[in-house]
Structure 1
Amino acid sequence: MGENKKIKLWALVMLIFVPTFNFTNIASNAVYLGATAIPSWVIVSVLYFLPLCGVIAEMASFNKDKDGGIYTWVEQAIGEKWAFISTWSYFIGILFYLQMVFSRIPVAASWALLGRNIFTDSNAYLLPILSIFICIAMTYIATIGVSKFSKLADFGGKFTLAATVIFIVMAVVGYFNGTPSATEFSVETVVPKFNVSYFSTFSWLLFAVSGSEVAGTYIKQTENPKKTFPKAMVIATILIALSYILGSVAVQLIASPQVLESAGIKDAGYVVYSIVANNFGINGKIVVQIYAAIFLVTSIAAYIIWMESPIRAMFGEVPKGTFPEFLVKKREDGTLVNALWTQCVILIVLIAIPLFGLKSIDAFFKLLTDLSALTVVIPYIILMCAYMSFRKNNKNIDFKFFKSNALAYTMSGIALVLSCTGFLGAGLDYVMGSSGTEAILLIVKTYGGPLILIGMGLVIRFMSQKSYNKSSRLEDKKRAV
């Protein structure tokens, strides 16, 4: 990639912002948590997201000449085996996440074009069919290269940030101009009730701020990465944290818990934009269509990044023999075209199986989806442990987000504890709501699933390396003869 195509500061900020911030997360968690979502976002931002971004900024800056992202950071700190486990679980978690999110694109397009969701029960069968075509199109865009799709992320991210700021300003101005708050703010409604239901929902807030690590795989494509990457992480962290916290306040001001609940998780984000526009005498439908168009562009950019970055992390820096040569073959700009198209085929199979009514195969893939639900948490647990080792063994690093070791260990330790409790809490509500054999099966699938899938990955790695070593020995013998 030529110097003129290097990713600049604000383009990198948007590469971090786009896959991490999603206004839908604000609206959906407002449905579940009501006004308690506000302090919850504050806690998540300060005690989890801030330390996570600090860890990423330091480790990425130190490994500025490598583009393996989370694989490189963990490998440098605690070894190749843990690096494989972290990236394999990350890759598997994102893979099954992707097969579920492509259907959101047609819904956003429907809101943008018509001002409503036409993919209701009668038309819902169209979503998986459209998802297959969307998957193919996005894979193609991903193969074009980060210098191209980063422009889409830059465009969509800036408009999303602007739309969020305008929403917050309108909600606050409306309130001070006499529009009463739609939500009652009191100690009883704002302070969380620390029960199982809250603990379970709070855990998903932790996952809502994941995504900032994806930019680490593009550090070699960044202009002056030693300075630009840490600076971009700091700016993006502030923007994302403020957007989630202030956005949550704004949503509570203009929509009551009952309105949010009746709108539902899928449509609550669109409904609140309509309400805030109507409060100012503006055509709510037009405002929703504009917001939906912005959300559509940003979602496309976000899903492309989610498709491309984990592939770089998984296949970009692994030792020879870990995977077949076909999958680890890179283009000059670091794009793994073969791996991207292989992923595309797997995603199409996952999306298409239910369409053919093959119940036994469908059940198997549904089981894999259930098993993978919490695998995406594992990399963050390993990353925090790796960071502690990294700070212990690298005293004189160029960039320190946390100036003292005591602060670094404290903040990463808190983030580690929250990652572990998030892993436990995310499935707790489901397990507690069951009993007997059903509860045991849920525990095995929810909490044992990630371990089972990691075990499968280690077996694949062992077999691939064994085959590679055998081939290498044969080649050595031929050369000796």
Structure 2
Amino acid sequence: MDSKKIKWSTLAFMAFSTVWGFGNVLNGFIYFNGIQSIFSWILMFALYFVPYALMVGELGSAFKTSGGGVSSWIFGTTGAKAAYYAGWTYWACHITYIASKSSGGLKALSWAIFRNGETYDSFPTLAVQLVTFAILILFCYVASRGLNPLKKLATIAGTSMFVMSILYIIMMFAAPAINPHADYVSMEFTRQTLIPQFNVKYFTSLSILVFAVGGCEKISPYVNKVENPSKGFPKAMITLAVMVMVCAILGTIAMGMMFDPAEINANFDAYNSNGSYWAFQKLGQYYHVGNSIMIIYALCNAIGQLSTLVISIDAPLRMLLDNEDAREFIPSKLLKKNDAGAYVNGIKMVAVLSGAIILIQSFVPGAAVVLKQLTKLNSVCMPLRYLWVFFAYIMLRKAGEKFNPEYKFVKNQGIAIFAGCWCFFVTAASCLLGMYVEGDLFNTFLNILTPIVLAALGVILPMIAKKEKANN
């Protein structure tokens, strides 16, 4: 047996820590009316996440020598122009993500310092957004100097956040035995309390769940490093889905012991902004340790958000501009590097676009509303990159025996193409429906305008590049 091969169980845990986080439990709980989110999670895992993860496995297996990026899958199945658009989409989606990391990092720091959510939310929105913008500019400078010592910091913070989310579930279930007289919310597990209402709010929130379970394409390079890929990889992915589902359900029940959905619905913006911190603060109260657990969580979150900010400025840009196959569609000015090897003009473009989102929100009443809007904007924009995964899969299966991957999701061609089309449709429909926010015209407008502006920019750049070549 090859000692370098990864055990399927190891891959499942690697994927789990990549895909899952505490914020997913909170978002599911507050957007889907408490424990009613359990039904939606199960539906999402069975009908979307499992086939998605197994399709990624087949793509990774088919393109084992290309490093596993979505752009290389598209290049292999469709061509260079489509590969450019895939790389552009991946980069463009991170524009909204970068804006949210600046805000999220600041929020986490305020909780670590002030130990409450009200202080941060009471600051004038303009002042908060200007500080957020200043943080973005500072971290763009850090990225431009090629300084990436924060990669290790992001990994450590990510791992600690993952540990904290598992710890939350264990400690919350143990709390009633340790402190039986504390103030817990009683839950009823009946058909009425578990089955959600399928109304406008429900369908326009589905993008939150799609965003939560996405991103498993990051582990595609490891498909062929697993022992016996045709059996080991699907076993790892199904184990991943089971672990994520168990965590989502147990995390939701743990949160249901703490928070009343009626109170959340009455103070939605506050819970969206502060819910995760209140959860760890309450946990500290149950265990008589004050704010210590919450402060540890807030510091881990702050380090994680700010180190991910630098990586999100740098890594997606490199994925787009380092791609030799897509370079012919990119104007030469964007390919300019400084003495530190960073794409300076590309970083400036990130600062302008992400900065514009931050500054537009200066006119929003309250910092809590800004964080709610960024959560929704991310849930609309980030899953758009998954569309390329499913498109690549459909094209892979249409190519017949051309690529011949070692591992196949399903052998039947018709079922495979239907699964790819189904996941493509679910992603596209969730993103489009997610653009609408009931009673909030500004947020709806922002959700529609942002993807249009980013898509238009992606179309304009090849035109500039073509004109540039014609003039030379």
TM-score (norm: length of structure 2)? 0.77
Displacement of 1:50: 3.0
CA contact (8 A) 2:207 2:380 kept: no
Is 2:427 the partner of 1:419?
A: yes
1:69-108 alignment to 2 at 5 Å?
69-108=69-108
SS, match of residue 116 in structure 1? coil
Q: CA 1:417/1:146 → structure 2, altered by over 3 Å: closer, same or farther?
A: farther
SS, match of residue 198 in structure 2? coil
CA separation in 2, counterparts of 1:291 and 1:124?
25
Q: CA 1:249/1:160 → structure 2, altered by over 3 Å: closer, same or farther?
A: same
CA contact (8 A) 1:214 1:305 kept: no
CA separation in 1, counterparts of 2:427 and 2:380?
11
- Identity between Structure 1 and Structure 2 (%): 22
Displacement of 1:240: 4.7
Cα displacement string for residues 210-248 of structure 1 (whole angstroms, at most 9, x for unaligned residues): 3344567xx5xxxx8841798798486665554434322
Cα displacement string for residues 432-470 of structure 1 (whole angstroms, at most 9, x for unaligned residues): x69xxx89x969x86687456534422321231232244
CA contact (8 A) 1:91 1:311 kept: yes
Q: CA 1:466/1:380 → structure 2, altered by over 3 Å: closer, same or farther?
A: same
Cα displacement string for residues 136-173 of structure 1 (whole angstroms, at most 9, x for unaligned residues): 44335546779844322321122112111111112222
Cα displacement string for residues 65-124 of structure 1 (whole angstroms, at most 9, x for unaligned residues): 445822222222223333333333343332134224412212101212332233122354
Is 2:137 the partner of 1:139?
A: no
- Counterpart for residue 247 of structure 1: 251
CA separation in 2, counterparts of 1:106 and 1:372?
17
Q: CA 1:301/1:372 → structure 2, altered by over 3 Å: closer, same or farther?
A: closer
CA contact (8 A) 1:384 1:413 kept: yes
Q: CA 1:298/1:451 → structure 2, altered by over 3 Å: closer, same or farther?
A: closer
Name whichever of 192-201 and 420-429 sits farther off: 420-429
SS, match of residue 102 in structure 1? helix
In the alignment, which of 195, 206, 210 is matched to residue 191 of structure 1?
195
Q: CA 1:92/1:378 → structure 2, altered by over 3 Å: closer, same or farther?
A: same
Cα displacement string for residues 373-394 of structure 1 (whole angstroms, at most 9, x for unaligned residues): 8454443233212202213426
- Counterpart for residue 26 of structure 2: 27
SS, match of residue 326 in structure 2? coil
Q: CA 1:18/1:328 → structure 2, altered by over 3 Å: closer, same or farther?
A: farther
In the alignment, which of 222, 225, 228 is matched to residue 227 of structure 1?
225
CA separation in 2, counterparts of 1:348 and 1:181?
40
Structure 2 gap segments, 5+ residues each = 1-7, 364-374
User: Superposition RMSD on alpha carbons, in Å?
Assistant: 4.3
- Counterpart for residue 474 of structure 1: none
CA separation in 2, counterparts of 1:151 and 1:12?
20
In the alignment, which of 297, 300, 303 is matched to residue 294 of structure 1?
300
SS, match of residue 330 in structure 2? coil
Name whichever of 191-200 and 419-428 sits farther off: 419-428
In the alignment, which of 313, 327, 339 is matched to residue 334 of structure 2?
327
CA separation in 2, counterparts of 1:306 and 1:269?
23
Displacement of 1:420: 2.6
Name whichever of 110-119 and 227-236 sits farther off: 227-236
CA separation in 2, counterparts of 1:265 and 1:466?
46
CA contact (8 A) 1:131 1:351 kept: no
Displacement of 1:38: 1.6
CA contact (8 A) 2:187 2:256 kept: yes
Displacement of 1:348: 6.6
Count of residues in Structure 1 that have an aligned counterpart in Structure 2: 438
SS, match of residue 291 in structure 2? helix
Q: CA 1:163/1:425 → structure 2, altered by over 3 Å: closer, same or farther?
A: same
Q: CA 1:240/1:293 → structure 2, altered by over 3 Å: closer, same or farther?
A: farther
One-letter amino acid matched to 2:285:
N
- Counterpart for residue 346 of structure 1: 352
CA contact (8 A) 1:327 1:336 kept: no
- Counterpart for residue 309 of structure 2: 303
1:56-455 alignment to 2 at 5 Å?
56-66=56-66, 69-117=69-117, 118-140=119-141, 142=143, 148-174=149-175, 181-213=185-217, 226-227=224-225, 234=237, 240-261=244-265, 262=267, 263-279=270-286, 281-317=287-323, 318-328=325-335, 336-338=342-344, 341-347=347-353, 349-350=355-356, 353=359, 374-393=380-399, 395=401, 397-400=404-407, 402-405=409-412, 408-430=416-438, 450=451, 453-455=454-456
CA contact (8 A) 1:21 1:209 kept: yes
Q: CA 1:137/1:240 → structure 2, altered by over 3 Å: closer, same or farther?
A: farther
Name whichever of 40-49 and 185-194 sits farther off: 40-49
SS, match of residue 310 in structure 2? helix
CA contact (8 A) 2:71 2:83 kept: yes
Q: CA 1:12/1:314 → structure 2, altered by over 3 Å: closer, same or farther?
A: farther
CA separation in 1, counterparts of 2:255 and 2:376?
31
CA separation in 2, counterparts of 1:356 and 1:429?
19
Displacement of 1:131: 2.0
Displacement of 1:402: 1.7
- Counterpart for residue 366 of structure 2: none
CA separation in 2, counterparts of 1:131 and 1:370?
18
SS, match of residue 380 in structure 1? helix
One-letter amino acid matched to 2:198:
F
- Counterpart for residue 367 of structure 2: none
CA separation in 2, counterparts of 1:147 and 1:340?
17
Q: CA 1:448/1:31 → structure 2, altered by over 3 Å: closer, same or farther?
A: closer
TM-score (norm: length of structure 1)? 0.75
